[in-house]
Amino acid sequence: MEKVTVSPTLSEAFHYANLSGQILWTVIGVVLLLGAAVLLYLAAKDYYETTKGTVIGIGVIIAFGLVSILAKPIAINISNDKLVTKDYLEQVGKKYILDSCYNNNLMINAAKKK
């Protein structure tokens, strides 16, 4: 029997992350990125003095925003390679396998369902 690896794509990882509470962190990340964009705009228009500390601060805000959005989905994406037979994959499909892993608490880095 030929074995194949089933892995979630990044968009599928976002789906499973959202099922396990990622939405709040995505909102926080978007707010941080929007805040950094406003600060960059204000700095470009010379509404306040741009110093080295300001640039570092904006960089830190952008980093925290990206980490808030991407950390859990990337962890799910790289941690959930499942080895199955090719016949089984063709029979039930990738979505069924990934859903089954999530529903049976076998998906690594996805919160346990209550």
- Per DSSP, 107 falls in state S
Each residue's pLDDT tens digit in the chain (114 positions)? 899 999 999 999 999 999 988 999 999 999 999 999 999 998 888 877 778 888 899 999 999 999 999 999 999 999 999 999 999 999 999 999 999 999 999 999 987 665
Measure the CA–CA gap between 71 and 13, rounded to whole angstroms: 11
The model's pTM: 0.84
Q: Would you tell me how many other CB atoms lie within 10 Å of the CB of residue 34?
A: 12
Q: How far is residue 84 from each of residues 4, 41, 74, 80, 81, measured CA to CA in Å?
A: 6, 50, 22, 12, 10
